[in-house]
Amino acid sequence: MEQGYLIDVSFKRSIRDWWILVLAALIGAGVGWIIFHYRTPVYQAVGVLSVGIDFTRTGSLTDIEEDQVLGIAGDVLASPAVISSVLQKAEVEQIPLDEETFWKFASTDRRQNQWVLTIRHTDARTAAVLAELWTREGYAQLMTAIAHAENASHLQRYLDSLESCLQRATVFGPVSGYCDLENLEGLLEELSDTGKKAAEEKISSQGILPGTTVLLASLPEMPDQPIVFRRGELMLVGSLAGFLLGVLVLATGWTDRFYSHRLS
């Protein structure tokens, strides 16, 4: 009975003195807003790369295969090779960083066929420089990987033709041209060399498929205003804290004594 009575009393106080709860919540939200504006500002710079697929080269792909192509591009952008190159160039710009610190400021986000490279930093210039270095280096290494993928594809086709040539020479007997059995030793050597080159090119392609395209959609710009980041969260937390404080104030019975004093 006692617990039910206390709940009933608290509910009636909340209905009667609702304005206290609203005022406390508004004050709490205001405190959150003040904290947001007085803390260290954060600047954001963003670069965007668009990844495409030439279906005339790749043929029809399933949704999963298309997703894999885009995912591999993202892996290249976040690869140690790309980040290491970015950090070396950043040091020339008087921005010394290690990889662990870099990832505290950096993030990648895929939006359909685009990869968004984001840097958030308390210094606007640092954010812009790192984002541009990352975007340009990522684009350059993707283009290099695509070139290796194309070379691997050409070498593979050449390798297939050599294997066909060898098969014709060994199965059907002497034929004219390079596929003649008299050139068997040279043919085997060419097969071996081409196979090694094709394997090297595939490794250098980092898994990128031939027929993949990449476009430098937009370069980062120097941010002139800090981002509105977590302002809503701080205001919401402040509002909830203020509301709970108002509930605690009502639970003390202070308003009951206030009204009693006025009536007396």
User: What are the pLDDT digits (tens) for 157-177?
Assistant: 988 888 887 776 665 555 545
118: phi then psi, degrees, rounded to nearest 5 = -120, 135
Distance CA 257, CA 263 (A): 10
Which strands form 106-111's sheet, in the order they lie side by side? 106-111, 114-121, 43-53, 212-218
Which among 12-21, 38-47, 142-151, 233-242 has the top mean pLDDT?
142-151
Distance CA 138, CA 72 (A): 12
Distance CA 245, CA 219 (A): 48
Given a cut of 50, whether residue 121 has pLDDT beyond it is yes
18: confidence class by pLDDT, cuts 50, 70, 90? confident
Percent of the chain with pLDDT over 70: 78
Q: In this structure, are residues 251 and 14 in contact, taking their beta carbons and an 8 Å threshold?
A: no
Res 247: pLDDT: 75
Rounded average pLDDT over 114-136: 95
CA atoms within 13 A on the CB side of 251: 8
Give the residue, 25 or 33, on which the prediction is more confident. Answer: 25
70: phi then psi, degrees, rounded to nearest 5 = -70, -35
CA-nearest of 21, 121, 133, 43 to 88 is 133
Domain ranges of the chain: 16-40+233-247, 43-218
Map 198-221 to HEC letters: HHHHHHHCCCCCCCEEEEEEECCC
Res 245: pLDDT: 81
Res 1: pLDDT: 42
pLDDT in tens, 38-76: 666 789 999 999 999 988 887 788 888 889 989 999 999
How many residues belong to the chain?
A: 264
Which among 14-23, 142-151, 245-254 has the top mean pLDDT?
142-151
* Alpha helices (H) along 93-214: 99-105, 124-171, 184-204
